[in-house]
Amino acid sequence: MKLRPLDDRVVIKQSEAEEKTAGGIILPDTAKEKPQIGKITALGPGKLLDNGKRNKMSVKKGDKVIYAKYIGNDIEIDREKYVILRESDILGIVEK
C-alpha cells in the first residue's frame, strides 16, 4: 500500500520504543513511551502559498528526524507504525 501525503505533510516511520531502561529493567508495553524519532518515508508537494506556488520542503525522503511528542496522527499500515504530521512539527534532522 502506498500513502501519498498532501500539502506540507510528511509520513514518518516510527522508530521502535525502547524495550529496556538504561539500568536494564525490561519495560512492559504499557510503560513504553511513544518514540519521537523516525525516518521520512513520503512527503507532500509542499505548502500552497497565496500566490499559487508551492513552498519547497526543507526535508527529504530518507531523512531521520525528531518531531514533537504529542503531534500528528498515528496510523498502522501492514503492521508498521507511521505518523503523519506537518513539516512545521518536525523539530530537527538527525545527521550522522
Q: What are the pLDDT digits (tens) for 56-81?
A: 999 999 999 999 888 889 998 888 88
Question: What percent of the chain is modeled with pLDDT above 90?
Answer: 52
**Between these two residues, 45 and 16, which has the higher pLDDT value?**
45
CA-to-CA dists, residue 70 to 28, 64, 84, 95, angstroms: 21, 18, 12, 23
The per-residue pLDDT for 88 is: 92
The per-residue pLDDT for 2 is: 81
CATH of 9-90, one of 3.40.47.10, 2.30.33.40, 3.40.225.10, 3.30.365.10: 2.30.33.40
Instruction: State whether the Cα torsion 23-29-35-38 is positive or negative.
Output: positive
> N- to C-terminal Cα distance for the chain?
30
Question: Dihedrals φ, ψ of 15, to 5°?
Answer: -70, 160
Statement: residue 18 has pLDDT above 60:
no
Give the domain ranges of the chain: 9-90
Q: What is the C-alpha separation between 74 and 56, in angstroms, rounded?
A: 25
